[in-house]
Amino acid sequence: MKYYLTTPLYYVNDQPHIGHAYTTIAADAIARYKRLQGYDLFFLTGTDEHGQKIEREAQERGIEAQMLADYMMERYKSLWQMLSISYSRFIRTTEDSHKKAATHLFLTLLNKGDIYKGRYEGPYCTPCETFVKEKVCPDCGRTCEIISEETYFFGLSRYRDQLLSYIQENHNFIMPTYRRNEMTNIIGEELFDLSITRSTFNWGIPVPITGAKDVMYVWFEALINYLTGVGYPDDKEMFERYWPCDLHLVGKDILRFHTIIWPAMLISSGLTLPKKVFGHGWWTIDGEKMSKSKGNVIDPYEIIDEFGADGFRYFLLREIAFGLDGNFSRKALIHRLNSDLANDLGNLFARVMKMVESFAEGKVPQKADGEYLRELSLNIGKEIDEEISELKFHSYIEKVWVLVREANKYVDQKKPWMLKGDNLNSTLYNLLESLRILSIFLFPIMPNLSLRMAESFGLSEKDLSLVNLTWGELHSGTRIRYTAPLFMRIILK
* pLDDT tens-digit readout, 245-292: 999 999 999 999 999 999 999 999 999 999 999 999 988 876 677 666
d(CA 318, CA 314): 6
Contact partners, residue 82, CB within 8 Å, separation at least 6: 301, 304, 309
Task: Please report which confidence band the pLDDT of residue 483 belongs to, taking 50, 70 and 90 as the band edges.
Answer: confident
Give the per-residue pLDDT at 100: 98
Assign 493 a pLDDT band (cuts: 50, 70, 90): low
pLDDT above 70 as % of the chain: 97
Q: Which amino acid is at 458?
A: G
Show the domain range for 387. Answer: 330-463
Q: Is the model's pLDDT at 127 over the cut of 80? A: no
pLDDT tens string 408-421:
999 999 999 999 99
Classify residue 248: in a domain, yes or no: no
pLDDT band at 148; cut points 50, 70, 90: confident
pLDDT band for 293, please (50, 70, 90 cuts). Answer: low
- Specify if 441 maps to a domain: yes
pLDDT of res. 297: 76
Q: Is the residue at 339 inside a domain?
A: yes
Residue 295 pLDDT class (50, 70, 90 cuts): low
Q: At what angle do helices 18-36 and 65-82 cross, to 10 degrees?
A: 50
What integer is the mean pLDDT of 121-141?
75
Which domain CATH number covers 375?
A: 1.10.730.10
206 is a domain residue: no
**pLDDT at residue 292, rounded to an integer:** 63
pLDDT-based confidence at residue 27 (cuts at 50, 70, 90):
very high
pLDDT at 359 over 70: yes
Checking DSSP bridges between strand 40-48 and strand 2-11, what pairing results, if any? Answer: parallel
Look at residue 401 and tell me if it is in a domain.
yes
- Residue 349's contacts (CB-CB under 8 Å, 6 or more residues apart) are 435, 453, 485, 486
233 cis-preceded (ω within 30 degrees of 0):
yes
Name the domain count of the chain.
1
Q: Which residues contact 113 (CB under 8 A, 6 or more apart)?
A: 155
**Inter-residue contact 75 to 110 (CB < 8 Å):** no
- Rounded to two decimals, the pTM is 0.95
Q: Are 183 and 255 in contact (CB under 8 A)?
A: yes
In this structure, is residue 452 part of a structural domain? yes
As a whole number of Å, the end-to-end CA separation of the chain is 49
The pLDDT mean for the chain works out to 93
